[in-house]
Amino acid sequence: MENRRVLLGMSGGVDSSVAALLLKNQGYEVVGTTLDLYCKDESQMENTVLDAKSMCDHLGLEHHAYDLKEEFKTRVINDFINCYANCKTPNPCIECNKYMKFGVMLKKAQELNCNFIATGHYAKTEYSEKYSRWVLKKSNAGRKDQSYVLWSIPKEILEFILFPLAGFETKDEIRAIAKNNDLNVASKPDSEDICFIPDGNYKKFLEENSNIKPKQGNIVNKDGKVIGKHTGLYNYTIGQRKGLGISNPVPLFVLGFNSEKNEVIVGEESELYTKEIEVENINLLLFDEINDWMEVNVKTRYSAKEAKAEIKQFGNKIKVVFNEPQRAVTPGQSAVFYIDDIVVGGGKII
Pairing mode, strands 62-67 and 29-36:
parallel
Burial class (CB in 10 A: 0-12, 13-18, 19+), 104: middle
Expressed in angstroms, the distance from the first to the final Cα of the chain is: 48
Look at phi and psi of residue 163 and say left if phi exceeds 0, alpha if psi is from -120 to 50, else beta.
beta
Q: Where are the alpha helices (DSSP H) in the chain?
A: 14-25, 42-59, 69-72, 78-85, 92-96, 105-111, 171-180, 202-209
d(CA 106, CA 112): 10
Query: CA neighbours within 13 Å on the CB side: how many for 268?
Result: 4
d(CA 13, CA 3): 27
Find the catalytic residue in 56, 87, 93, 96. Answer: 96
d(CA 330, CA 338): 19
Residue of 94, 89, 20 lying closest to 328 (CA atoms) = 89
Cβ atoms of 83 and 90 closer than 8 Å: yes
CA distances to 55, 91, 100, 112, 151 from 5, rounded to whole Å, are 18, 31, 20, 9, 25
96 classed as catalytic: yes
Strand, helix or coil for residue 112: coil
CA distances to 23, 58, 222 from 50, rounded to whole Å, are 21, 12, 54
Sequence-separated (6 or more) residues with CB below 8 Å from residue 313? 282, 289, 290, 291, 319
Cβ-based neighbour number of residue 189 at 10 Å: 7
114 classed as catalytic: no
d(CA 308, CA 304): 12
Active-site positions? Answer: 96, 195
